[in-house]
Structure 1
Amino acid sequence: MSGGGPPAEVLPLPVGTVVRLGRRVRVKDGGRALIGGAPTRVLYLTSAASGLFDGRELTVRDRATAVLADRLLETGIADPVVGSLPSGDPTQVTYVIPVRDRPAQLDRLLHALVVSGPSGSADSADPLGSGDAGGAAPHTVGARVIVVDDASVDVEAMRAVARAHGARLVELAENVGPAGARNAGLQLVTTPFVAFVDSDVVAHPEAVAAMLPHFADARVALVAPRVLGLPGDRGLNWIGRYEDARSSLDLGGDPAIVRQRARVSWVSSTFLLGRVDALADGFSADMRVGEDVDLVWRLADAGLRVRYEPAATVWHEHRTALVTWMARKAFYGTGAHPLAERHPHDIAPAVLAPWSAAVVAALLAQRRWSVPVALGISAVTVWRLAAKLSKSGHPVRVAAGLTASGLLASLVQAMALLLRHWWPAVAIGCLFSARLRRAVLVAHLVDVAIEHRRTRVRLDPVRFALLRRLDDLAYGAGVWVSALRGRSWGALLPDLRRRRP
C-alpha cells in the first residue's frame, strides 16, 4: 500500500530527545548567552531560541529544536539525557575480546556477560555479581561473542574457556597486538554494533544497554563507559587506592563529547561500543599503544561523534604492584610519538593562547615586574575580548570570566609541563636555577592539594603525593623515550596557536 502524503522529515535527533547543558556551562544574559563547550566558546541564542529551554534542558519537538539540540551537542555545550533516547537492542551487539594467555580473566569476563533471565544479569553495582566464575558449571553466554586469541602460548587453555562459554574462538598464528586482534574480530561481525572488550575487564550487559541509546543520533560512531577499578579479593593496597581515585582510565562522572582539545579528548579501548559501518577497517593495526586515541581522533576528523557515558560502568583489573604499575604508565607515554606522526596538531602536551603563554612566562620569571606584567597582559586580553562580545549585555564581565578561566587552565597545563611532560629537562635545570626549583616546589604542592581534595582518595597526602609524582615520572619517561626513538620533539612541544588547524 503506497502512502499519498509527503515523506516524513528526517530530523537530526529523534523527537522526544532531551539535551541538558553541561555542568560547567554558564548561562548569561537571561539565557541568551551560553559559555562553555569543547573548546570553550560563547554561543548566543535568539530570544525565541532561549525560550525553548526548560531550565537547563531542551526537548526536541520539531525541526527547530532538533537543529538547536544538534548544535549544542556538536559544540559540547550540552549532552543527551540517555533516558530520553530510544533504547537499543542488545541482541544487535557482538562482543569482540582480544586476549593472549589470560584464561582466568577471560573466564571471569565471559561469566559476567551471562544474561541470567528476564531481570537481566548480575547486579551492576557489584562487578563480580552474585556468582563465582571459578568452579561454576559451564554455561553459554547470552550474547554473540568472538574471542580473538592473539597467539597464546597455552592455546588449549583458551580453547577450553571459549568452549565452556559457547564463545567463538579465532586463533591467530602470529601475535599482532590488541589493535590487530580487534580488527580480526571486527571482520567477522555481522551485527550493526560491536563491543570491544579487554580480557582484564568485568562488564555486564547493562553497560551496553546504557550506551546503545546514543546511537539514536546518526552521527555517533563510538561510545565509551566509565572505567573503574576492580575490587580485589583482599582489598586494595595503597597503589590500588590511588588508582581507584586517579586511574588513567577513569575519565570522571560527567558525560562528554570526545575529540581533540575537548575536556575529554580520548577514551580507552578497555571497553568501546561502536557502530560497525562507521568504523571502516577499525584500529591502526601497526600501533601497539595509542590506537584507541588514534581511532577517536580519526572519527572526529571524519565529522562523526564519540561520546563518553559515565552512566555505563565497567571494571578494570588495575596493576597494583609498584614495578608493573609504573611500567604500564611508561608504556602509555610511549604512544606519544606515533600519535604525533599521525596527528601533529593534536598531540601537544599543552595548548596555550599566546597571551596566556606570556602570562605564564612572566610568572615563571619570578621577578619584581612579573605580577604587574601578568596583570597588564590579562587586562589587555579582557579589553580585546570584550570588544568581540558586543552581543553580550555585560561584555567586560563575561570577558573577565573567560580570561580568568583561560589563565587558570594555562597555569594547570604549565604545572603539568614542569612535573610530567618535561621533567627530565626540568630536573637538570633545577640543578642550576633556584627560581626553577621554587616553581617546581610550588607546582608540586598546589597539584597535590588540588588533586587530593578533588579525587577524595583514600590515602594520606604524603603517600598520595609520592604516587602522584611517580605516576608523572613514569609517564613522562615514556614520552621522552618515544620522542628519542622517533627523533622528533613534536610530542613535547606546546601549541601556541589560537585555533586547531
Structure 2
Amino acid sequence: MNAGATGPASSTLPAGFQVQIDPRCARGGNLRYLVGGSPLRVMKLSDPALGMTSGDGRIAVHDNGTQVLARRLLDAGIAHPRPMSGPDVSDVTVVVPVHGNQSGVDRLLAALTDVSVIIVDDASDEPIRVPDCAGLIRFEDNRGPAAARNAGVAAATTGFVAFLDSDTVPDSGWLTMLLGHFADPTVALVAPRIVGLGAVCSDADPESSAVAAYANRFSSLDMGPREALVAPGSPIAYVPSAAMVVRRSAFLGFDETLRVAEDVDLCWRTHQDGWRIRYDPIAAVGHDHRESLRGMLDRRRFYGTGAAELAMRHGQLAAPVVTTAPLAAAVIGLMMRSRVGALVAAVILAVVYRRTRRLLGDIPRGRAIAAQNTARAAGFGLLQACAAVLRHYWPASLLAFAVSRRFRRWLPVVAIAEAAAMWIRNQLLDPEAPVMSPLHYAVYRRLDDLAYGAGLWQGALSRRDVGALRPVISR
C-alpha cells in the first residue's frame, strides 16, 4: 500500500508493446481520420504516422516515433493495448476478504491452484478454515471489506495483488490475460468482466428464477463487453473491487471509513493521482448473484447509499446528471411532446450539429459523422433524463404523479419507453448474451431503479448532504 503515491515515474511503453486502433474510431476503415474517445476527440494522422500503422490499425512500439503515437492514441481512448508480455502469475497474491462464507471460500480456493492466496476473515461468527497452502488473517471485530483488503495487501510481498470476493470464481487464464496490461508503466489497476457464475463454472446450478436471470444478465458489477480506459465521466467511470488487479507500488489503499463505494473512491483517487485504469472483458470472473428479490433490491439500495459518500469526497464527479444547458433544453423540449418543444429541440440540435461539423473539419463523411454524434448526444441526453426521473429523483416524480394529471399520463410512457430502449441497447451491445423477455426486464429494471433511488436519498438524508442529488449543468 502506497498512500503517498504521486503517479507513474515514466509513461514510456516498452519495445514490442502493441496497440490496436478501435475500428469504431476509424469510420469506413479510414485510419487517417480518427474520431472517438471520451470526451470526443478528432485526430488526423500524418503520412509518417500512417506509415507506423499496419493495415488493420496495429502499431508496434520500436522507436521514439511509434512510442509517442501509441501513447497518444492510448491516452485518447482511440486505441487499446495489445501487450506481448507482462508480469508472471508468480508475482501476484490474491487477497480474498470474507465474512461468513466458508462454502464460497472453498469453491474459490479450488479454482486458485497456481497462485498465492491470502484469506482475510473479517470476524466471521464461525472462523473461516483454509488449507495450509493459503494464508489466513483473522479480525476479531468486523472492520469491513476495505480494511480486510488493505490488511491483505500489507501482508503480501509480491509486486501485484488481485482482489477477489469470496462469492466469485475466475475463469481459467484470467490473470495471464490481465497482467499484460501492466507492461504499460502508467497502468495501476486492471479489471476483468464480472459475469454470472454459470458462465465460468460448468457445474454451477442452473438459474432457478427470473430474479437470478436478471441478476446474471444485468448485474451492476458487469461493466459490459467492450474494453475501455476507465475514468470519471467516461462510459466506464470505475470498476468493482469484487475482481481487480493492482500494482502494489501504485495502490493508494481503500478508504476504511467506507463500507460501500470504496471501489469507486479508489478508482477516482487513482485516476486523480495520474495513473491509468484498464477494463478488459476478455478475462472473466463469475459472480454468484443468486439471491431473493428482496435480497437483490436491498443490495441495490445499499449501493445507492454510497453516492452521498462519494459526493462528499469527490464533489461533482458523483452528480446524478451531467449535461450542458443547450442539451438539457433540447431534451426537455423533446420530452414535452409538443410542437413548441419539438421546435426548440430541433433548433438547438441543429446548432449542436453545426458546431460538431466545424470540429470535424475536412474529415471525409464529416456530415454523416456529425449527424450521428448529434443524434447520439440527444439519445444519451434522453436516457439520462429518464434515469433521473425514474431512478435518482423518483420520490419527486411520485409527488408529481399524485398532483398532476398530465404527469400521470406522461410517467408510464417514459417508464415503458426507457425500459424498451435499454433492452434493445443491451441486446445490440452484447448480442451473444442470454435473452431475457422484455416484460421481465422492464419489471425488474423499474424495481432496480426504485431501490437504488431509495438508497440515494437515504444516504443524502443521513449525511445531510445533497451533493449526490445535485445535477451539473455547464454552458
Q: Which residue of 2 aligns with 1:80?
A: 81
Are residues 1:462 and 2:439 paired?
Answer: yes
Amino acid in structure 2 at the alignment position of 1:423 = W
Contact 1:93–1:192 (8 Å) recurs in 2: yes
Q: Which residue of 1 aligns with 2:7?
A: none
Contact 1:237–1:320 (8 Å) recurs in 2: no
Q: Which residue of 1 aligns with 2:207?
A: 235
Distance 1:342 1:46 in 2: 42
Are residues 1:376 and 2:347 paired?
Answer: yes
Q: Which residue of 2 aligns with 1:93?
A: 92
1:305-324 aligned within 5 A: 305-324=276-295
CA RMSD after TM alignment = 2.1
SS of match in other structure, 2:473: coil
CA drift at 1:448: 2.3
CA drift at 1:234: 4.4
Are residues 1:367 and 2:368 paired?
Answer: no
Amino acid in structure 1 at the alignment position of 2:182 = F
Of 443, 462, 465, the residue aligned with 1:488 is 465
Structure showing the higher helix proportion among its residues: 2
Distance 1:29 1:355 in 2: 32
Gaps of 5+ in 1: 1-9, 115-141
CA drift at 1:154: 1.1
Name the CA shift for 1:42/1:425 in 2 (closer, same or farther; >3 Å).
same
Distance 1:207 1:337 in 2: 34
Are residues 1:471 and 2:470 paired?
Answer: no
CA drift at 1:86: 0.8
Name the CA shift for 1:460/1:204 in 2 (closer, same or farther; >3 Å).
closer
Contact 2:312–2:465 (8 Å) recurs in 1: no
Amino acid in structure 2 at the alignment position of 1:179 = A
Of 271, 275, 278, the residue aligned with 1:304 is 275
Distance 2:303 2:384 in 1: 19
SS of match in other structure, 1:169: strand
Amino acid in structure 1 at the alignment position of 2:471 = P
Name the CA shift for 1:45/1:497 in 2 (closer, same or farther; >3 Å).
farther
Distance 1:249 1:322 in 2: 17
CA drift at 1:55: 2.7
Amino acid in structure 2 at the alignment position of 1:441 = P
SS of match in other structure, 1:195: strand
Q: Which residue of 2 aligns with 1:340?
A: 311
SS of match in other structure, 1:31: coil
Q: Which residue of 2 aligns with 1:109?
A: 108
Of 220, 244, 265, the residue aligned with 1:294 is 265
Distance 1:388 1:237 in 2: 50
Distance 1:440 1:57 in 2: 48
Name the CA shift for 1:395/1:230 in 2 (closer, same or farther; >3 Å).
closer
CA drift at 1:423: 1.2
Contact 1:113–1:205 (8 Å) recurs in 2: no
Distance 1:290 1:444 in 2: 27
Contact 2:33–2:363 (8 Å) recurs in 1: yes
SS of match in other structure, 2:322: coil
Of 132, 147, 151, the residue aligned with 2:119 is 147
Contact 1:98–1:147 (8 Å) recurs in 2: yes
Deviation string, structure 1 residues 83-129 (Cα, Å, up to 9, x no partner): x4214210000111111111111111111111xxxxxxxxxxxxxxx
Deviation string, structure 1 residues 131-173 (Cα, Å, up to 9, x no partner): xxxxxxxxxxx32211111111112xx1xx31x2521111112
Contact 1:29–1:393 (8 Å) recurs in 2: no
CA drift at 1:201: 0.9
Name the CA shift for 1:30/1:319 in 2 (closer, same or farther; >3 Å).
closer
CA drift at 1:451: 3.0
Deviation string, structure 1 residues 255-292 (Cα, Å, up to 9, x no partner): 11111011111111101101001003x10110000000
CA drift at 1:11: 7.5
Distance 1:171 1:479 in 2: 33
Q: Which residue of 2 aligns with 1:271?
A: 243
Give 1 or 2 for the bigger CA radius of gyration: 1
Q: Which residue of 1 aligns with 2:41?
A: 41
Distance 2:382 2:211 in 1: 28
Distance 2:262 2:169 in 1: 21
Deviates more, 1:403-412 or 1:17-26: 17-26
CA drift at 1:208: 0.9
1:212-291 aligned within 5 A: 212-231=179-198, 232-280=204-252, 282-291=253-262
The total of aligned residue pairs comes to: 454
Amino acid in structure 2 at the alignment position of 1:310 = P
Name the CA shift for 1:58/1:354 in 2 (closer, same or farther; >3 Å).
farther
Name the CA shift for 1:30/1:112 in 2 (closer, same or farther; >3 Å).
closer
CA drift at 1:368: 2.5
Deviation string, structure 1 residues 175-211 (Cα, Å, up to 9, x no partner): 1100011111111111100011111111256211110
Q: Which residue of 2 aligns with 1:118?
A: none
Amino acid in structure 2 at the alignment position of 1:263 = P
Contact 1:11–1:66 (8 Å) recurs in 2: no
Deviation string, structure 1 residues 286-305 (Cα, Å, up to 9, x no partner): 00000000001111111101
CA drift at 1:334: 0.7
Are residues 1:170 and 2:137 paired?
Answer: yes
Contact 1:420–1:476 (8 Å) recurs in 2: yes
Amino acid in structure 2 at the alignment position of 1:472 = D
Name the CA shift for 1:275/1:372 in 2 (closer, same or farther; >3 Å).
same
Are residues 1:326 and 2:327 paired?
Answer: no
Percent of pairs with identical residues: 41
Deviation string, structure 1 residues 305-324 (Cα, Å, up to 9, x no partner): 11111111111111331111
Distance 1:359 1:41 in 2: 23
SS of match in other structure, 1:35: strand
The TM-score with structure 1 as length reference comes to: 0.86
Contact 1:242–1:457 (8 Å) recurs in 2: no
Distance 1:465 1:401 in 2: 27
SS of match in other structure, 1:334: helix
Of 365, 385, 395, the residue aligned with 1:414 is 385
Q: Which residue of 2 aligns with 1:206?
A: 173
Name the CA shift for 1:405/1:452 in 2 (closer, same or farther; >3 Å).
closer
Contact 1:366–1:435 (8 Å) recurs in 2: no
Amino acid in structure 2 at the alignment position of 1:92 = D
